[in-house]
Each structure stands twice: as structure tokens, then as C-alpha cells.
Amino acid sequence: MANHLTSSRQADIVAFIPQADLDARANMSAFIELCRTKLTIFGDSLDFEADSWEVSNTIKLTAKKSKLRIIFSNRDTCRERACGRVMMLEPFKSFAKSYMRYQHGMQRSNDVGKRIAALRALEVALLETGPADPVRIDSQVLNRAAQLLGEKGAAAVVYRNGGQLEIIARFLNNNRLTIVPTQWRNPLKRPAEAIRVGKDADERRAAKMPSQAALDALPKVFLFATEPADVLVSATTAILCSAPDRISEVLGLPVNCEVRQKKDSSEEDAYGLRWWPAKGAAPMVKWIIPSMIGVVEEAVRKIRRLTDEARKIALWYEENPTHLYLTEELEHFRSEKLLSMADVGEIIFANKVDKSVPGVWCDTHRIPKYKDGNQGYVRFADVEVAVLNQLPRGFPVANEKTGLKYSESLFIVQRNALSASKTRISCVIEPVTHPQIHNRLGARSTTGIRSIFDRHGFYELDGSPIRVHTHQFRHYLNTLAQAGGLSQLDIAKWSGRKNVKQNKYYDHETPAAIVDRIRTAVGDDTRMFGPLAKGPQVALIKRDEFARLKVPTAHTTDFGYCIHDYVMSPCQMHRDCLNCGEQVCVKGESEKENRIRHAYAEAARLLAMAEQAERDGDLGAGAWAKHHRTQLERITGLIQILDNPTVPDGAVIQLMPIDIPSRLEHAEQACALSISPVGESMPPAFKEET
């Protein structure tokens, strides 16, 4: 049978080691038995045989407070309600359960949906050719599963799900769990996010940014909203528009999030919010630009006003964890043993409700009722227990990572406080969650919740509903920062990222905007370095007109942007950008700067090799040494400008063009080589060496 090895990384992880002398079916049985009886991933008390696993205590999503479940239903019914779901078939279901448990121990991930999606597609592919037996998986089954994954979903999601399918295939092969050993790669293509031009690129860019109609409507909703849900959602979007934030970061703000600090160079205070970045950066104060300070201050004030009562309740429960919260007017009920339905209605609901509602509430929470004639009663103690059981999971701590308590959280409300159809519960609290914001921005049209735009009569120009995702504000602000010339390091710090390479996924600056940015620097010797810094040599043309003539277009390169006009002629310096006068670089673009420094190191290495060959007397080495020396000098000059602290980020740098032989000179040299005798057929540079 299988050997077992306890991992030193975590006590509840046990590595599966297949036996070479066993067949695939025996190894599969051993693997499933290991995961069923030895592993404690998702908890010691996990019912392995159940078709729905509640994993909220293991996988904690910051902005999701509802229970998280892994449901082993098949692909066709995975989106159905519980009564309509059909589960995976055995023995594939046991393998799927084992794989989910084992893989989460070895490679933890909060997004388990991609793994279960790949497994569901794999089961369908197996059933098309026979029983749902995982040992039958081969390249044909995997290819069909990949085809199924590719049939629906966004390109990026499809690609990632295909990547999970590849991980499953590798796991099966490495552990000898299939009859036919199979080396398989994901055939689903990575989406071409790097392509910035064309209709598809424009549509992709627009989908990641809030529409102009949404940006115009949000300030008006913020000013005029009166309903609690509208006020809270519009105030939240005001914060999202002030800095590139994730919704989980905003919802994790403490109530005392505001920071004011004296500026050295001004009598005005700097204003910021205490922040805990979700992507691993250190806790920080995220400073707000002056033009947005008043808006954010007002947004925080509005949110505090809506959530003060809930924080008061949370603090009371922290100090009295075994007692039901009652307002001062209702405190006399604490001495009562029995409560009428009217009493229950007063205790539970913030507003008057229909007389049948308290009874329904008691039935929902399985509170025993007692009859006295026609009057129904319940015990106060039973109501107290039912209410305490409704406190949020993990109470009093709202965020284990930061240690933030519910009584200290900015985004906490009474139960149903944001609902238009349910009555607010006066003695139960809940955190504001991502869906409560997301749905009220119209991001999902199937929830039955009217967006703040619909409620206030705002629509797109074509009359369609305005739909906004919370992450679009982050993309929008990052793109504005890119267009404004903010350095990549500053953008990463402002956004709470540890790695500046992540910036590129939020840069949706259009090609036209890039061209305009280069044009505006033409003739400005504080922002432009190179031939175009001087601007027009005569006064008969305006600088912006000259810029349009000199920079008709631009496209990105490894080191910056090429402003060559391909309408006029093809490129004569293909892939030799650093020697081209039509190459411009922008200071602050860290990824392109890193490539320039790599080019410097490569040029230095090649020059050293050419000089050594020249000393050794190799034919033609002198010409190569001269070429690499010129190349190194150009790159050195460029790096000196990039490293100059007086040159601002966003400055556009253009090097002087080198003097290269024309096509006619190349032809003349080729002709000379073909007709001259040996020793006379070489171009001058080679003659010197011989």
C-alpha cells in the first residue's frame, strides 16, 4: 500500500507516495483512502462522504461573510438550486473529493472554484467515452475536457481553468494514478491582453473601466441619496474614486481610519486613510489628493452616521457575550420569563411589523411556542439563544488578519439595514459585504436589487442600464496615473502592491493618449531630451502642429515607444531600437528601464568579447568592437539621463540618430565584394583589419 510521510511544513498534511509495483487502480484506492482517513484539511470533523463541504473556517475571504461551500455537483447542474443539483458519479466523485482535500493542503488557494470547474469538465469528458473512472483519464479525455472548458466563460477564466486541468493531469501522471501515463499541456491560449490596438482591444479596455455615464452619475447620487443603502453605496464609491482601492480593503477600514498630518511646505493638513493592503504590502496611510479630501471626509461622515448604532450593539455584545441586547426602553423585558408575539416583535424588529411576522421568525429559528388560550408565548431564554446564534462568525473579531473587531469596524450595520424588502433587526449586526455594494452598482442584473443608478434615473447614453464593478475604479485611477506620468514605483505604492510588474494589468491608456503624451513633450526642454526638445527651428508653425508632424503615431517597444510613420516607409532599423533616432523612452516606466539596463550589461559583455577577439587578431573583430563601443556609449548616455535626479518622472527621452549606411551604400559594398579580387572586395572597415 501507499507509504505516508508527515510534512514538516504543516502537521495535518500527509504526502502521498505511490508504489511502483502497484497498478493505477491500487494506487488510486490508496490515495483516496489516505485523503479519507489520514488528512485533516478542512477540519478533523469533515464528513468526507457528504456531497457539500462547508469550508468557511479554512478558506477565509475578506469581503465574503456568508458560508463557503464546495459542492461536488456535476457540470450541468452546478448552478441549480440545491433541489435540482445532480452529484458527480462514483468513483470519480471520491477522486474529486480526495484531490480537492489533498491539493488544498499542498497548494492552498482561496479560489477553489477553478479546481472544481476543471474536475467537472473532466467528469463529463470521461462519461462521453465510458464510466466515470479516473484511472481511464488519458490525452483524449483531457483534450475533450479542455474543449468543454473553452466553450463558455471569459477568455481569462477559461485559460486559468485549463491551467488547473493541466495541474490535475500532472498530478495523475506523477503519482501513477492512470492506466496510460500521459504528459499533457493546456491547449487553451492565454488571452492576448498585451495587444493595445484594434476593436477588440478597445472593447476590452472599455469593459475594465467605468463608463462616462457612471462617472457623471455617481457625484449626483452621492449628493442627493437619502435611503440608507444608496447613501452607503455612493459613499463607498466616493472612497473608491479617491485612490486605487480594492473593495475588500475599503470594507476592512476601521472607524478611526482618518489621519491628518501637518505638511512641511504648507499650512494645510495632509489627509489620508489607514490602510491594510490586500496584496501583501505593509500597512500604510493612503494619502488623498487635495481635490478629493472634502469628498472623502463627507463620505466617511455619512458611513459613520449610518453605522454608529451597529458599533454600539457590537461593543455591548463584547462586554455581555451571553446576553441579548435590548434598548433602554425594552430593558424591562429582561426580567420576563415568557414573551408574547407582540413582545418578540418589539425586541427583534426596529420598526412595527405585521402581527404574523414575529411568529414566523420564531418558527424559522425553531423556538418552541407555548399556548395559553388563544395567545402564543415563547421563553425569553430561547429568544436570547436564537439571537446570539445570529451574531457573525468569529465574533467579536471581524478580520483575523488585522485583528479588527466589529465594534471598531467602519462598515457594520444592523441585520437587513440595507434591504428594501426586509425589516431591520434591531439586536443583530452584520458586516457590509462585497455583494451588497456590487449588486447595488448594477454589476449583476439577476439579483432583483435595483441599482443606485436605476433608483435615481441615470442610464447610459443609449438608454441601457449603468453597470459598474467595484474593481473598475481601481483600473480607472491607475490608467489616469499612467497618463499623468506618475512613476511605476509610485503607482505600485499608491495601489498597495509589492511588485511594480503588477501595474501593467491596470494600464489601459489608449494608443492615442500615448501619442498625445509624447506630442505634448515636444519642444519642452524640461520634459523632452533629444532632437525634438528644440522644437521647430522657425516661427512659422505652432509647437503643437510641429508635434503632430513629427509624431504622427506611436507604438510600444521593449524600451519605450517608436514614433516611426509606417505609412511613409517600412522600418529600416528592425529590432535595433536603441540605435534608432525614432525611439523615445519615458522615465519612470520601470519594466522598460530594466530592459535598457539588461541591454547595457549585454553590450558591455559583447564589447569585452570583441575587444578580446581584436587583440587575438580575429578577422573583422575591429569592426564589431567599434559597433559595440558605439552601442555601449549610447546606452550609457540614456541611463545617465534616467538616473539623473533632476530629470522628472514622465520625461520623454530621444537619442540622436546614428549615421548608418544607406541602402545604396549597402548595395555598393555588396557589388564591390562580388567583383573585386581577394583583399580588394572588403568594405573599408574590414580592410583596416586585414
Helix 471-483 vs helix 488-495: crossing angle, to nearest 10: 160
Contacts of 671 (CB under 8 A, 6+ apart): none
Give which of 544, 638, 655, 553 is closest to 589, Cα–Cα: 638
Query: How many other CB atoms are there within 10 angstroms of residue 562's CB atom?
Result: 19
Q: CA-CA distance, 491 to 488, in Å (whole number)?
A: 5
pLDDT digits (tens, 9 = 90+) for 459-475: 999 999 999 988 888 88
Q: CA-CA distance, 81 to 73, in Å (whole number)?
A: 11
Whether pLDDT at 218 is above 60: yes
pLDDT grade for 512, boundaries at 50, 70 and 90: low
DSSP structure class, residue 126: H
Give the three-class secondary structure for 516: helix
Whether pLDDT at 511 is above 90: no
State how far Cα 223 lies from the chain centre: 30
- Sort strands 652-654 and 528-529 into parallel, antiparallel or unpaired: parallel
pTM above 0.95, yes or no: no
Residue 23's pLDDT is what?
84
Contacts of 394 (CB under 8 A, 6+ apart): 400
pLDDT above 90: percentage of residues in the chain: 35
User: How deeply is 516 buried, as exposed, middle or buried, from its count of CB atoms within 10 A (0-12, 13-18, 19+)?
Assistant: middle
DSSP structure class, residue 432: -
pLDDT grade for 589, boundaries at 50, 70 and 90: confident
Q: In this predicted structure, which of 5-19, 181-195, 251-265, 597-611 has the lowest mean pLDDT?
A: 5-19
| CA-to-CA dists, residue 96 to 30, 68, 208, 215, 472, angstroms | 14, 18, 34, 45, 35
Give the three-class secondary structure for 584: strand
Q: Torsion angle, CA of 41/9/167/78, rounded to 10 degrees? A: 20
Residue ranges of alpha helices (H) inside 107-138 are 113-127
User: How deeply is 285 buried, as exposed, middle or buried, from its count of CB atoms within 10 A (0-12, 13-18, 19+)?
Assistant: middle
Whether the CB-CB separation of 277 and 528 falls below 8 Å is answered with no
Q: Which residue has the higher pLDDT, 23 or 679?
A: 23
Query: Residue 114: what residue type?
Result: K
State how far Cα 414 lies from the chain centre: 30
Residue 491's pLDDT is what?
62
Whether pLDDT at 535 is above 70: no
Q: Is CATH 3.90.15 what the domain over 212-306+432-475 is classified as, yes or no?
A: yes
How large is the average pLDDT for residues 9-21?
55
Beta-carbon-side half-sphere exposure of residue 101 (alpha carbons within 13 Å): 33
Q: CA-CA distance, 508 to 125, in Å (whole number)?
A: 38
How large is the average pLDDT for residues 81-107?
91
Residue 585's pLDDT is what?
84
Mean pLDDT taken over the chain = 81
Q: CA-CA distance, 231 to 299, in Å (whole number)?
A: 9
Q: CA-CA distance, 183 to 665, in Å (whole number)?
A: 54
pLDDT digits (tens, 9 = 90+) for 483-510: 666 666 666 666 566 666 665 655 555 5
Query: Domains of the chain: which residue ranges?
Result: 3-174, 212-306+432-475, 322-388, 510-659, 660-690
pLDDT grade for 625, boundaries at 50, 70 and 90: confident
Give the three-class secondary structure for 561: strand
Residue ranges of alpha helices (H) inside 370-414 are 380-388
- According to DSSP, the residues that pair with 528 across neighbouring strands are 652
Whether the CB-CB separation of 585 and 640 falls below 8 Å is answered with no
How large is the average pLDDT for residues 542-549?
47
pLDDT digits (tens, 9 = 90+) for 351-399: 888 888 999 999 999 999 888 777 889 999 999 999 999 999 889 998 8
Residue 105's pLDDT is what?
87
Beta-carbon-side half-sphere exposure of residue 289 (alpha carbons within 13 Å): 11
Q: CA-CA distance, 102 to 31, in Å (whole number)?
A: 9
Residue 680's pLDDT is what?
43
pLDDT digits (tens, 9 = 90+) for 95-142: 999 999 999 888 888 888 899 999 999 999 999 989 999 999 999 999
What is the Cα gyration radius of the chain?
Answer: 33
Residue 648's pLDDT is what?
83
Residue 19's pLDDT is what?
62
Residue ranges of alpha helices (H) inside 175-211 are 199-207
